[in-house]
Chain A
């Protein structure tokens, strides 16, 4: 039985004029609009997210919550930032300069200490168990916010290695809210029509595919054929924006500022996707699980986050986009205060940090704290449900008023027993 996947109507309280304006903008691109004022208004009303996922777990002690010269503080120093009184690790020297735009929550305390459970539960908001699989934050936002005016898929994931359509992110929303993953930041293979195939033949093929899909869907779950159709539509959308993936179009200065490594290149692509209006861009970096030789790893790896992250914050701010784009740097947990025998840090969900910036977020603040040794949260702990409340509110979505509907089942968009971190909300 087809399921209705609805959210509360007022979340889509857009006037008919605005809708058609947005549709027009989508079709033409913002630059094609007759009135720049409308284009600017649409741009200003965008709600977007940049979600940076540091897979494996970044150490809070070598990033946002350093404890120098303490038993578990490690070898590194803390440095002052652009906000008097706030210090972060010396591994984040560029982020220190843009601290005036950032908000750090140092009192994150979550439930999972394994990657297999933590990765999903964090990104699904760890809601109460209702017998359904909740969507990842990217799928949820693409459902609740929509496609903006980009004419591009609402949820794009930029990640190392292979790409494809990741339907599992969507949970009960249905596969079409999954992520389009750009493996190594490249467009899907065979995206462009082969030169030997002319436009008419291509159109005929697509019509045939649609017919076969329709026949197939009569005997299968509708959402899977919808997802298949959606994937083709996304490919068609990307075909129109193929220049996004051409690094030769980028100024060398930007390439230098973001770096030539995976994370730098992928964040620079993310900036371009956000500029185009993509609703949710997730950038994943792997290899943060530093159980051994942790401090040398930190010294090698953190700067490769720090420099392009700070460049991103600067660029979004300079373009006026930081008022629209919610930026989140997060992982499945932090790392243990105790240094193990391999000079590594293990998994530590008990007390860690998340950094955010942009839309709906106060600038230059720290919320919550850990104790002197960094072993426990010393203020109200914030579970991921609280983070989801915070992020939704930052996007102008009130979890007390908006809910998902899975068939007839109303489902809260964030854990109903938790509350936002009000200290970081603008």
Chain B
């Protein structure tokens, strides 16, 4: 994963300083109007910032979840969030104080891994450790359908028309499903994303998405070498959705670069992604399907876990982890304190045609 030397004008730049939510973050997303940035946090909350300026101001968080908030999705003024205890919540964030609209306490048995909202906003889809894909009515939280895949499902996306749902599992398989018909329509194999190490299944399809026109499926994670410490080389595989053929891939060069942890599709036709770094530094990158290399590769941020593309397409937020957080579990502060790690968020500009 050697970066090309990009022209200065085409290189993303930091916008403002990183802001620190004071807690580790699983996922960040902008609201559709771009005015709010939300973060799924390890402290059972969804952190929020007014993102209408270049100096985000923190807003009251969404509370009421348990464990970790694992993923978030939005339609206009409503944010949907799922947590590791299986809860699904819809929150009205139009007002300054977030207002809970509805909650499904046990949307999944245990860890609800991911959530997606259909392009027209009429459906929600969630998937979980329990192996279920479930569809929900965004207005009232009523369950619209479900399909039992029986395997730990890590990632989910709607097709552009909302007629099918794609879910990626621990074992490197993506299934496109018609939930109302109770059918798996087709599968896409990305088995390199999974590895059995002793008695551990490692990796999986950590994130997936479709291009806006729905023609390209991106399934990503890492090519794991070990369990335990989890050395993995980032790997993003592009599939032609219709034929299932592989269109190409973006692969890191070192097994210390970790997983692709999150992706966003830029309307100009390239992927913005983040990698975890394990035990090395995380990256965030721009990659155009078919290209051999990333057109931009930023390595300043340790252990990146999410990217959120602003609806304008002009900036992207990247959540990382505080400096010196690699293997710092035992380290105590000078006063003997023992603070948790946190996930600083840095906003970067997205230059025009950065993927050349």
Contacts and interface: CB of A to CB of B under 8 A. Distances in A.
Interface of A: 56, 68-69, 71-77, 90, 113, 160, 261-263, 285-293, 296-297, 299-301, 304, 335-348, 373, 375
A304 B199 contact: yes
B85 A262 contact: no
Contacts of B326: 340-342
A344 to B, nearest CB: 7
B335 to A, nearest CB: 14
Contacts of B302: 341
A72 B67 CA distance: 10
A299 B329 contact: no
Interface string B200-234: 11101000000000000000000000011110000
A424 to B, nearest CB: 28
B330 A113 contact: yes
Nearest to A297: B200
B84 interface: yes
Interface residues of B, number: 49
Contact of A300 (B201, B279, B325, B338): B201
Contacts of B276: 292, 342-343
Nearest to B279: A342
B340 interface: yes
Contacts of A344: 229-230, 327, 329
B214 to A, nearest CB: 29
A369 to B, nearest CB: 18
A341 B341 contact: yes
Contacts of B341: 338-341
B340 A72 contact: yes
B129 interface: yes
Contact of A297 (B67, B84, B202, B329): B202
B328 interface: yes
Given A56-B228, A292-B229, A375-B338, A300 B329 contact: no
Contacts of B201: 300
Top 8 closest pairs, chain A to chain B, by CB: A336-B329, A341-B325, A346-B329, A75-B84, A341-B321, A341-B303, A292-B230, A287-B198
B330 A339 contact: no
A80 B9 CA distance: 59
B67 A300 contact: no
Nearest to A349: B330
Given A75-B111, A342-B326, A69 B67 contact: yes
B168 interface: no
Interface string B175-208: 0000000000000000000000111111010000
Contacts of B198: 160, 262, 285-287
A297 B201 CA distance: 7
A382 B307 CA distance: 45
B46 to A, nearest CB: 15
Nearest to B86: A77
Which DSSP category, helix, strand, loop or mixed, fits chain A's interface?
Answer: loop
B202 A69 contact: no
A340 B229 contact: no
A340 B66 contact: no
Contacts of A297: 200, 202, 227-228, 230
22 contacts: A56-B228, A68-B67, A69-B44, A75-B67, A75-B83, A77-B110, A289-B228, A292-B276, A300-B170, A300-B199, A300-B200, A304-B199, A338-B339, A339-B42, A340-B325, A341-B322, A341-B325, A341-B326, A342-B229, A342-B326, A343-B24, A375-B338
A335 B228 CA distance: 12
Contact of A291 (B70, B229, B340): B229
Nearest to A347: B330
B230 A293 contact: yes
Given A291-B279, A341-B303, A342-B258, 9 more contacts: A56-B228, A68-B66, A76-B111, A289-B228, A299-B111, A338-B341, A341-B322, A342-B278, A343-B276
Contacts of A289: 228-229
A339 B200 contact: no
B43 interface: yes
A287 B200 CA distance: 8
Given A75-B67, A77-B110, A340 B329 contact: yes
Among A291, A301, A342, max chain B CB count under 10 A is at A342
B136 interface: no
A345 B229 CA distance: 10
A75 B43 CA distance: 9
Contacts of B204: 296
Contacts of B321: 341
Nearest to A298: B200
A56 B226 CA distance: 14
A4 to B, nearest CB: 42
Contacts of B305: 343
A346 B328 contact: yes
Contacts of B67: 68-69, 73-77
Given A71-B43, A287-B198, A341-B325, A299 B340 contact: no
B348 to A, nearest CB: 20
Contacts of A288: 228
Contact of B200 (A75, A76, A301, A343): A301
B277 interface: yes
Given A69-B66, A75-B84, A338-B338, A291 B327 contact: yes
Contacts of B262: none
B43 A336 contact: no
Nearest to B338: A375
Nearest to B276: A342
A291 B170 contact: no
Contacts of A113: 330
B68 interface: yes
Interface string B134-171: 00000000000000000010000000000000000010
A137 to B, nearest CB: 23
B129 to A, nearest CB: 6
Contacts of A71: 43, 340
Contacts of A286: 198
